[in-house]
Each structure stands twice: as C-alpha cells, then as structure tokens.
Amino acid sequence: MDTHYAPANANLSSGKALRLARISDPVTRRAHIVPMDHSVTVGPLGPVDHTEQMVSLLASTGINAVVLHRGRINRVPIDAFTSIGLIVHLSAGTSMSLDTDAKVLVAGVEAAVRSGADAVSIHVNIGSHTERQQLDDFATVSRECDVLGVPLLAMMYARGPRQTGPTSTGTIAHLAAIATDLGADMIKLDYAGSPTAMQSVVASTPAPIYVAGGTTVSDDAAIALGAEVMSSGVAGLSFGRNVFGATNPVRVATALAHIVHKRIGDGERVAALA
C-alpha cells in the first residue's frame, strides 16, 4: 500500500516548523536523511577528507539532510549546506566500550544551534543496562529542544541482554510510542521486515517515522529496500552506510531520493538509476 505519511506541523512551535521545513520536501513533507555519525562508534569512515567529499557529493542528489557530530561540521564546506539540512548528533558510544549499548550526551542543543543545526538527534537503546540514563538524557534534550524551537530526531533501538533476535513489530511500535511520548518530532526505527508490518507501526504513532538502512547491502539491494520500505507509508528513509558506503554513493542517494519524494511518474526513472 502506498499511503505515505505526511506529518502535520500545526502543533509545533514556529521555530520547529521552520527548521523542519528545511530538512523535508516542501511538497511531500517526506525526507531522506543520511546519517554519518558512525565514526565515533566504529572509527574513520574513509580517508581524511571523506566527510568533506561525501557531503559535497550528496548535496546534489536530492537528499534532505545529513547527520554529523559537531566537530565534523567545520570540515565540510559551508556551501554544501545551501541545498541540504544539518542534523547534529548529540549522543555517542564506541565499539571499544565495555558496554557497547551505552550512549552518553556529548553535546547540547544550544551548542548544536550555534553550529548551524536545523535539528538534533539522539540515540537511545531501550533494554540496555543504561536505559534509565539514556531516557533521562532524552528528557533533558527534549526540554531544551522545546525551549529553543529545535526539532528532535530520536534514533530508537531495542538492544540489551533481553534482545536476542530480530526486533519484533510490537517492540518497534513500543519504541515509537516511547519516542512520541517523550517529545520526539521525528523517529528513526529499524525496518519491521515487511511493508504490512511497518505500516502497523506507522499507524500506531502520530510522529513521522524514518527507517534505518540496517546492515550494508549491494547498491541495487539498497535501492530495492528503499522502495519496499517507502511502500509502507513511512515519512522517509535514514540510510547511512548503504549510501556513503555504496559502490556508487551518488547513484544510490539519487535513486532513493526519487523514491522518497515520488518525483517519478511511472517508475522508469528508478529503473534507469537501478
């Protein structure tokens, strides 16, 4: 079913509504967001100029925003942000940690705004040993966002000792409910596995949902996955590694942007890009 979610901004502050308009399509109200905050977790994503080159390349593909940590922003040419939005990631954890599910705040909303952020994002691992602290951090950031009129993207995952297999549809819906109740304006979630299952998650919350790309796959598979995900009615995609780590990042990002925003009449354009 192709009933794409178009989030309403009527209940948002003017500041949040204005900033959201910078990171979503003005016609479809959907967005393709490319997270590039992975380097704190796993290390360098490429050579010294990788972020600078990648953001500049992606700026011409039709994506709506990138997610970066505050320190990386200064490495990217300012003109790259004339055509895409900036989401500053506020939480972090590393793959070298004794608790890889732990996330701590490494920046604040006010500092992100000074850096030019259109929105901020946080990562929350529900079910982890540090869930209580991560929820407390979520509440703190949410309050700051309300005061400053900054949209909040909550990246919600079920991780911890009780999570032993793929996340169930019910759990994904629960994650969406937590994010909505704590004040997220946008929610990033794992894919529920099928359009029907994901549509049930979309139907459970009023907040716009953006689906993560998951494990790295081939370029063609990433494009096909994006099309499948968008058929569930979500507000957009949040594909990171499957874009910046693609064999041809520009091709994948462009194809996914066309899919998200439906700038294709009969599907021939996506077929050509694929």
* Nearest Cα residue to 207 out of 258, 156, 170: 156
Say what the pLDDT of residue 238 is. 98
In the predicted structure, residue 194 carries a pLDDT above the cut 80:
yes
188 in active site: yes
Going through the chain in order, the beta strands assigned E by DSSP cover: 31-35, 65-69, 85-89, 91-92, 104-105, 119-126, 152-158, 186-189, 209-212, 236-238
Catalytic residue among 5, 16, 25, 157: 157
pLDDT digits (tens, 9 = 90+) for 195-232: 999 999 999 999 999 999 999 999 999 999 999 999 99
Bridge partners of 212? 238
As a whole-number percent, the residues of the chain with pLDDT over 70 amount to 92
* 8 Å CB contact between 211 and 191: yes
157 in active site: yes
Catalytic residue among 25, 37, 118, 185: 37
Catalytic residue among 188, 191, 210, 219: 188
Mean pLDDT over residues 166-179, rounded?
96
Q: Can you list the domains of the chain with their CATH numbers?
A: 14-211+233-240 (3.20.20.70)
Structure tokens at 6: 């178009």
